[in-house]
Structure 1
Amino acid sequence: MNNRGSLFKRRKNKHSNKSTDEELVTNDKHEELSFSIEENKEKIKKSFGNPMDFKIEEITLTETKGFVCYLDTMVGKDKVTDQIYKPLDQVNENGDVKITEETIEQFRKDFFSGLTFAYCKNLHEVVWNILSGFVVIMIDGVSTAIAFEVVNEDRRSIEEPSTQTIIRGPKEGFTELLSTNISLIRRRLKNKNLQFERYILGKDTRTAVAIGYINGITNEDILGEVRKRINQIDAALILDSGNIEEYIVDKTFTPFPLTYSTERPDSITAQLVEGKIAIIVDGSPFILAVPTVFTDFFQSSEDFYQPFFMSTFIRLLRYMSFMIALVLPSLYVAITTFHHELLPTELLISVQAQREGVPFPAVVEIFIMELTFEVLREAGIRMPRAVGQTVSIVGALVLGQAAVEAGLVSNVLVIIVAFTAIASFVSPIYNFSIATRLLRFVLILAAAFLGLYGVLLGLVLMVIHLTSLRSFGIPYLTPVAPLLMEDQQDVFLRLPIWANKKRPSYLKTKAPVKKKHADNPSPPKPKEGGST
């Protein structure tokens, strides 16, 4: 098996002109290993100190001394026995193996072929590999150490995504392991041009980050901008893709997400085929896709697994639900406070009769209920799953009924708040619904001061803000503003898959056409004078 460096195209970050990734994480200067086994042992012990999980064990290979060192919390113990110690026992059984600087490569091939390995000639390389879950073997009289990958794979297994559930389609979701996530993408995208580049980010965590793209499709300018922004990240801590997101987005001060985040491998695969770039962070099951536009958050991978008529209906339902979740409470405040004439007389009498005896104005009334529901929502998410859903449902029913009976709120307001909350759950991407939740309160305040004029003004300002946003240079409202007619086949309507022949023009990909000769799969026409 080849050296692990060949798994990725390695890219130097902005620190690389001073020191390597290994030197940065170990804080060790460029210090070459010695031919003396005792001297090397002391150097490694001094670098690690005395942690409880650091193991350094002496071995003898045909009368030549050596040692094996590793962190037992980072390696698979059974693998160490089978893949390291058993081959070392075979060396002693062979009896005539002599290991020198010139024969160490043959020694590795004879006894450890098939294992991922790396040669270490410097102290910081040894320390880095041990921290990465490798077992390092050093032999007296040889100044080159061999590191073998025996990483502990006790990670969460591949499961169904918890935040983006679908009825029809693949049920696999990303995990926290970088190599597993890459393999999930490669299983679906068997393309030799699929490339992954590796970066190490975070001064303290030294987190592995990979960007994926299809060479020959992805726009080189966008790819270069992604590389540039990742290289500019100067952080001590990188634990999740959300940390990366805040460092690379075009504008931080916006409630709208400027990157597309998903747990679904099929969704990321589709984004890559479109010409976008995936950002994968070791330790995070959420993969980012950039650039992204506003309309991406109304699409679900399930749209392409069921008939296009149904997919179009559901997509239009998502747009309608977004507007309901955004403006319905503010419309209630504006109409009941300023614009009674907009309601039919019977409905107006019914609403006012219900509000009779309520001690608060409409804006205070709706703020109480909206904040109560937000508290219940967060409580349901943070509590254990066994009781979280029960608490949120029962709490909403009990509090809502009690508030009405106590005369604090009206019945119609409970209906408004409940319908608004349900509409906000329709969004297939959770972090996009957060923007709706925040802007809803802004529009309620605008309605309380200026009525429908305030609601309209708030929506106009929101649209102006949206038009000013960019995602890696791409206008956020593309292909609606600016209007690109050639990209309308998968925005509000979902046309048949065979009709979607081109990639989005706003990405300016190297291969704008996905399939040239895809036609309507109609049955063959009957031949003249006969039948089929």
Structure 2
Amino acid sequence: MAADPVEAQQAPESFRERMTNVDAAAIWNERLNKYRNTFVQSADFRINQFRLGNKECAVLWFASMADQAVLSDKLQHAMDNFFQQKEELQDNLTLEELCNRAMPGAGCAVERDQSRLIDECLRGKAILLIDGLEGGICIGVVNSNTYRQVEEPSTQTIIKGPKEGFTESIDINLGLVRRRITHPGLCFEKFVLGSDTSTTVYLAFIQGIVNPGILEEARKRLAKAKPNALFDSGMLEDYIVDKTLTPFPLIYTTERPDGVCGHLVSGKAAILVDGSPFVLTIPTVFSDFFQSSEDYYQPFLISTFVRFIRYLSFLIALLFPAIYISAITYHMELIPTELLFTISSQRENLPFPVFVEAMLMEITFEILREAGVRMPRAVGPTVSIVGGLVIGTAAVEAGIVSNIMVIIVALTAISSFVSPIYNLSVSSRLLRFGLLTLGALAGFYGVMMGMMVMIGHMCSIRSFGVPYTAPFGPLNIKDHEDILLRFPLWLLKKRPAYLQSPSPVKQPDAHNPSPPKKKKGGQRP
């Protein structure tokens, strides 16, 4: 019904003020209804309305993610500060002033865009809206109980060194890196990926150390990645990796903060994904998968010996069954006579050829390995160990496989676990079946042809522009100080040449810690 003009003329100021208040209230309610309609079917969505001075306010949050006690404390603290300064803020109140004066140190940020406010609310923050002011204030009140606390890594355990591992909280992960590297050039660039999940991704690097070309390539690939959902860093690999049709991992994955920090100071970049305890480091070369953080916490002689063991174990896991099948099928003259008689006597009454025997045992062990991983932790190791013993013993007694085949498969399986990075052990398992088949078809010739094709493939692939086989190919002798061998730390003065870092020297003042040699007179200089 239209307003009476006579009434408007008799009391113009009162009428205008009343209509203004009605319009403001309608706008305020409409603003809140937009959020209510967005989360109308979310039972854990909360809206709490109150007055702050002469302003209508509302707090929006998700009870399943926000900490109610922290939220109450921060709001109470803000209201107390506001009433103490209301003379300054009442006439000309802004969101920035409220953050700076009434909520100092509360982890707040002003956001103007409504869609960004919704995203921040979905990430567990509380949103403070004030009538008459555009946008809102994001208050950090995420419940820490929704995240796993810092624990020892489960996939990369070490004996000597830090026991901390990344968690599913991106803020905790950034803090673990920032605490170890206090370099002012350490930067974290933020990306939001996933049309349905809006997952936060950070690109970490040290300005002045990382190659700008590698950094720019990483930015381009992250910008081009358009997944609909992103839950783990492993999903991101398929969108940014150089070549997907390869059995070799082209991106280094780790859950150890010290490993990531070591790569950053060497001139590499890291990619952290919210919700994932595994961090990606780029670029990656083949030799990275034989190095562990513990190598730098042990004496260099021990570390060098352990690295040789890793390379040897990789070759055993890759070639041992193929070499055995080739020797038994085509090259028996290479086997010592006594050993040949032993193997022949064991295989005398076996119903299957050696290739079928090896495939049966390899597939059986892969099934046991997968079952042990998927079973509950309380029974998983028991199933793997007992299953292997029982099935292996029963298969030998039943005359299906020979004792020597059980030994070969067991040694091959154990060798595949030596790799400090799980991704490489998966690659060796996959390649082993191919080489095993080539050995059965053409003996050592087939195995050598398979190895040549594998090495040629490795030389053809790159990781963010860096040759995968560096520093073996192209050969760089200086980089071999920390590849097959691990020289003393004071000798490792330069960063890897294949990274082409703007700052190639990382420790120019390092020197031999041994006492200086005596002079001819018998006194030290």
Give the C-alpha shift of residue 246 in structure 1: 1.0
Counterpart pick for 2:195 among 195, 199, 203:
203
Which runs of structure 2 are paired with 1:285-324 in the superposition (5 Å)?
285-324=277-316
Please tell me whether residue 336 in structure 1 is matched to residue 328 in structure 2: yes
Q: Find the partner of 2:447 among 440, 450, 455.
A: 455
Q: What is the CA–CA distance in structure 2 between the aligned matches of 1:267 and 1:156, rounded to whole Å?
A: 20
Tell me the TM-score normalized by structure 1. 0.90
Give the Å deviation of 1:430: 0.3
RMSD across aligned positions (CA): 1.9
1:359 aligns with 2:324: no
C-alpha contact 1:34 1:40 (8 A) present in aligned 2: no
Of 33, 44, 51, which residue of structure 1 is paired with 2:35?
A: 44
Pick aligned residue for 1:219 from 205, 211, 215: 211
Note closer, same or farther for the CA distance 1:523–1:92 as it changes in structure 2 (3 Å cut).
closer
Instruction: Determine the C-alpha separation between the residues in 2 that align with 1:365 and 1:63.
Output: 84
**Residues 44 and 64 in structure 2, CA contact (< 8 A), matched pair in contact too:** yes
Contact 1:322 1:424 in 2 (8 A): yes
Measured in 1, the distance between the counterparts of 2:87 and 2:510 equals 66
The farther-off stretch of 103-112 and 456-465 is: 103-112
Q: Distance in 2 between matches of 1:519 and 1:63?
A: 68
Q: Give me the whole-angstrom Cα distance separating, in 2, the residues matched to 1:101 and 1:295.
A: 62
How many Å apart are 1:34 and its aligned residue? 9.6
1:126 to 2:121 alignment: no
Aligned partner (choices 419, 422, 425) of residue 427 of structure 1: 419
SS in 2 for 1:39: helix
Contact 2:53 2:90 in 1 (8 A): no
Q: Structure 1 residues 34, 187: CA separation in 2 closer, same or farther (over 3 Å shift)?
A: farther
User: 5 Å matches for 1:131-210?
Assistant: 131-154=122-145, 155-210=147-202
Structure 1 515/91 Cα, relative in aligned 2: closer, same or farther at 3 Å? closer
Note the 1:16-165 alignment, pairs <5 A: 36-88=27-79, 91=82, 99=90, 102-154=93-145, 155-165=147-157
1:276 touches 1:290 (CA, 8 Å); kept in 2? yes
Change (3 A) 1:138 1:315: same
Q: Residue 36 of structure 1: SS of its match in structure 2?
A: helix
For the Cα contact (< 8 Å) 1:35–1:140, is it kept in 2?
A: no
Instruction: Answer 1 or 2: which has greater helix percent.
Output: 2
After superposition, the Cα gap between the structure-2 partners of 1:123 and 1:306, relative to the gap in structure 1 and judged at 3 Å, is closer
Query: Relative to 1, partners in 2 of residues 1:80 and 1:97: Cα closer, same or farther, differing over 3 Å?
Result: farther
Deviation at 1:194, TM superposition (A): 0.7
Aligned to 1:473: 465
Is this contact kept in 1: 2:111–2:137, CA < 8 A? yes
- In structure 2, what is the Cα distance between the partners aligned to 1:103 and 1:470? 52
Distance 2:95 2:431 in 1: 65
1:200-244 CA distance string (max 9 Å, x none): 000001100001111011110111000000000011011111111
Q: 1:295 to 1:76 in 2, by over 3 A?
A: same
C-alpha distance in 1, partners of 2:440/2:135? 74
SS at match of 2:203: strand
Whole-Å separation in 2 of the counterparts to 1:513 and 1:277? 18
Q: Residue 450 and residue 44 in structure 1: after superposition, are their counterparts in 2 closer, same or farther (change >3 A)?
A: same
* Mean Cα deviation higher: 476-485 or 81-90: 81-90
Match of 1:492 among 484, 488, 492: 484
1:10-58 residue CA offsets vs partner (Å, 9 max, x unmatched): xxxxxxxxxxxxxxxxxxxxxxx99932221122212222310111111
- Aligned-partner residue type, residue 42 of structure 2: P
How far residue 447 of structure 1 moved from its aligned partner, in angstroms, is 0.9
Structure-2 separation of matches of 1:100 and 1:408: 90
How far did residue 148 of structure 1 move? 1.6
Q: Which amino acid aligns with 2:117?
A: V
- What CA distance in whole angstroms lies between the structure 2 residues aligned with 1:524 and 1:66? 73
Q: Do the aligned partners of 2:253 and 2:279 also contact (CA within 8 Å) in 1?
A: yes
* Uncovered stretches (5+) of structure 2, i.e. residues with no partner: 1-23
**Deviation (angstroms), 1:482:** 1.2
Between Structure 1 and Structure 2, whose CA radius of gyration is higher? 2
User: Which AA in structure 2 matches 1:377?
Assistant: R
d(CA) in 1 for partners of 2:458, 2:43: 53
Q: Distance in 2 between matches of 1:354 and 1:473?
A: 52
**Which whole-Å deviations, capped at 9, do the CAs of 1:453-503 have from their partners, x for residues lacking one?**
111111111111111110011111110011111111111111111111111
How many aligned positions are there?
500
Alignment check: 8 A CA contact 2:77 2:103 kept? no
Q: Return 5+ residue gaps in structure 1 as ranges.
A: 1-32
Provide closer, same or farther for how the CA distance between residues 503 and 444 of structure 1 changes in structure 2, counting only shifts above 3 A. same
The counterpart of 1:278, out of the listed 251, 261, 270, is: 270
